Amino acid sequence: MKQSAVDPACTHQFSPLFLDYIDQKEGLKPFYSFFPTIENFGDAVRNRRFPKLNREVLVQELRQQYEGIGDRDVVEKQLEQLLEERTFTVTTGHQLNLMTGPLYFIFKIVSTINLAKRLNDSYPDFHFVPVYWMASEDHDFEEINHFVMDGTKYTWESEQTGPVGAFKMDKSIKDLIAQLRFLPDFFRQAYLESEDLAEAVRKYVHSLFGAEGLVVLDANRAPLKRLFAPVIEDDLLTQRANGLVKEQNDRLERMGYKTQIYPREINFFYMPEGMRDRIVRTDAGYEVVGTDTLRWSEAELLEELNIHPERFSPNVVMRPLYQEVILPNVAYLGGPAEVAYWFQLKGIFDHYQVDYPAVMPRNFGLVIPKAVSRKVQALGLDVTELFKTYDELRIAYTLSHAESDLLLTEEQEELGKLYEKIRHRLGGADPTLEAAVLAAETRGRKMLGQLAVKLRKAEEKKHQVAIRRIGEVKAALFPGGSPQERKENFLGFYLDRPEILSEFLATFDPLDFRVVVMDLDG
């Protein structure tokens, strides 16, 4: 595999806020704790304190979640280490997408594993455990019930509702698995031999990355939620987070940045079996949106929290805080949108006196299959040109391979000289004549421009094969106009090249935020 790297700004895929962060612009520094360099992690781990009780509860829960999973010796050693006060986690989170979903899920995990390795090498007096936080409480099933491979979309249809992690492995998913004859056995077994989706995802992620020491956590557990109960109670009673996030949003927007998330007065859902809906405050107390029966006085709701903390599910504003309360975490790795919205949350962390981790991008990648690579080479494209639009590439190719100047550059220069001569002859005698000359020149240049477009289109017909190849390259690397990593599933590469996961692990540098282009023909 041949690899190269492209500056994120050159890809036109990232927001100004994200680009300014990785450039370490001074104005953004109040919105985070420290920038993720290998040197900066030293002070972070030496100053990080995490309650012993929280460690014990965390490890007990993880051991229960891993019961019945084979080949977990490496993970067991990680859990033992997590009981030690000098052990910390580095974490990424993601939805429970079917068959891992888009390729960037794999990049997230690889980035997290590699960061733990780098930190273990750099700080041998400490230990670092990579963690995948399953978004088991998410209830948007349509976002996770499909995957795309080789341009075909495969979908799990189900009438189940509520948090997707609790979705049962029903007949519909089993029927879909039976149709997918190309599936590796570990995927098939994960779905067919599990009670619910969270268990299935843990199993297949463990099959892929358990030997690398990755720990998979489902935080939707009562003992873990109980550790977070004081924050839940405070948000129910004071709605302080709402104002804190709005203050951060206002500051970011005054700096010209767009904000990603918006708080609510209460930032928790109520989540009994089969549902997950917002809790709102009313004149009479509290209720769940869209229901007639789920209503409480303040005392009744606090009693419900005491008895059933697992029924209180944080939204996007509170989930990062929950993560840092129950994990001895020093870094969170996410996509560009995730990185951006963490900047909106610094005030919450400060208010609740919870350590704010290093917030860092996961690795970004573009995989060029062999067949596509050969077309790229035949077209003479370099890696930065791959991120240009189809029209930009088509026009640039035609202009560079034409036998004559299709832009009519010489004619444009001659036209300019002609009208300059006319203006000189007029000698400024009549200002209205000079305006007429300028208008005539503008019309003339427009006509030449129209002729140039016609010439270029005529020339394109001579390069139909090359232009078709440009379209094929763009369709393969940016399906539907989206980056490959956000559309295609990793199985499209893994089935032909099982070693590709090892190659990702060997290729990605978690502290290099450039886009890595991986040429499989190299």
Q: Which pLDDT score, from 0 to 100, does residue 292 have?
A: 86
Residue 320 sits in the same domain as residue 437:
no
Q: Is 80 exceeded by the pLDDT of residue 504?
A: yes
Total Cβ atoms within 10 A of residue 385: 17
Sheet strands side by side (includes 87-94)? 215-218, 127-134, 87-94, 329-334, 358-361
Instruction: Map residue 126 onto helix, strand or coil.
Output: coil
Residue 339 sits in the same domain as residue 462:
no
Strands 285-288 and 295-296 come out as antiparallel
Distance in angstroms (rounded) separating the CA atoms of residues 276 and 267: 12
Residue 331 sits in the same domain as residue 375:
no
Question: How is residue 170 written in tokens?
Answer: 């029903």
Average pLDDT in the 422-444 region? 72
Q: Is 90 exceeded by the pLDDT of residue 442?
A: no
Average pLDDT in the 346-373 region? 96
pLDDT tier, 427 (very low <50, low <70, confident <90, very high otherwise): low
What CA–CA distances, in Å, run from 285 to 277, 278, 307? 16, 14, 19
Per the CB < 8 A criterion, the answer to whether 139 and 276 are in contact is yes
Residue 413 sits in the same domain as residue 343:
no
Question: How is residue 83 written in tokens?
Answer: 């009981």
Q: Which pLDDT score, from 0 to 100, does residue 395 have?
A: 83
Residue 214 sits in the same domain as residue 159:
yes
Cα 51 → chain centroid? 30
Residue 13 sits in the same domain as residue 94:
yes
Q: Residue 296: inside a domain, yes or no? A: no
Q: Residue 492: inside a domain, yes or no? A: no
Q: Which pLDDT score, from 0 to 100, does residue 410 have?
A: 66
Q: What is the CATH number of the domain that holds 87?
A: 3.40.50
Q: What is the tally of structural domains in the chain?
A: 2
Residue 85 sits in the same domain as residue 7:
yes
Per-residue pLDDT tens over the stretch 323-359: 999 999 999 999 999 999 999 999 999 999 999 999 9
Q: Residue 249: inside a domain, yes or no? A: no
Conformational region of residue 130, where left means phi above 0, alpha means psi within -120 to 50, and beta covers everything else:
beta
Q: Is 80 exceeded by the pLDDT of residue 249?
A: yes
Per the CB < 8 A criterion, the answer to whether 232 and 309 are in contact is yes
Residue 190 sits in the same domain as residue 41:
yes
Q: What is the DSSP string of 1-24?
A: -EEEEE-GGGGT-S-HHHHHHHTT
Least confident of 378-387, 447-456, 499-508: 447-456
For CA atoms 142, 144, 149, 151, give the dihedral sign: positive
Return all residues near 481 (Cβ < 8 A) that are at least 6 apart.
Answer: none
Distance in angstroms (rounded) separating the CA atoms of residues 197 and 171: 13
Q: Is 70 exceeded by the pLDDT of residue 241?
A: yes
Quote the percentage of the chain above a pLDDT of 70.
94
Q: Which pLDDT score, from 0 to 100, does residue 439 have?
A: 80
Residue 127 sits in the same domain as residue 167:
yes
Residue 389 sits in the same domain as residue 416:
yes
Burial of 396 per CB tally in 10 Å (0-12, 13-18, 19+): middle
Average pLDDT in the 439-452 region? 75
Least confident of 117-121, 204-208, 379-383: 379-383
Per the CB < 8 A criterion, the answer to whether 34 and 355 are in contact is no
pLDDT tier, 137 (very low <50, low <70, confident <90, very high otherwise): very high
Q: Residue 470: inside a domain, yes or no? A: yes
Least confident of 61-70, 396-405, 513-522: 396-405
Return all residues near 267 (Cβ < 8 A) that are at least 6 apart.
Answer: 235, 241, 242, 314, 315, 317, 318
Q: Residue 45: inside a domain, yes or no? A: yes
Residue 353 sits in the same domain as residue 405:
no
Instruction: Give φ, ψ of 287 to 5 degrees.
Output: -155, 165
Q: Residue 241: inside a domain, yes or no? A: no
Q: Is 70 exceeded by the pLDDT of residue 406?
A: no
**Domain span including residue 401:** 368-482
Q: What is the pTM of this model?
A: 0.90
Q: Which amino acid is at 376?
A: V
Q: Which pLDDT score, from 0 to 100, does residue 95 have?
A: 97
Residue 161 sits in the same domain as residue 124:
yes
Q: Which pLDDT score, from 0 to 100, does residue 397 have?
A: 79
Q: Is 80 exceeded by the pLDDT of residue 243?
A: yes
Q: Shortest CA distance to 117 belongs to which of 81, 83, 90, 77?
A: 90
Per the CB < 8 A criterion, the answer to whether 307 and 193 are in contact is no
Instruction: Map residue 127 onto helix, strand or coil.
Output: strand
Q: Residue 513: inside a domain, yes or no? A: no
Q: Residue 497: inside a domain, yes or no? A: no
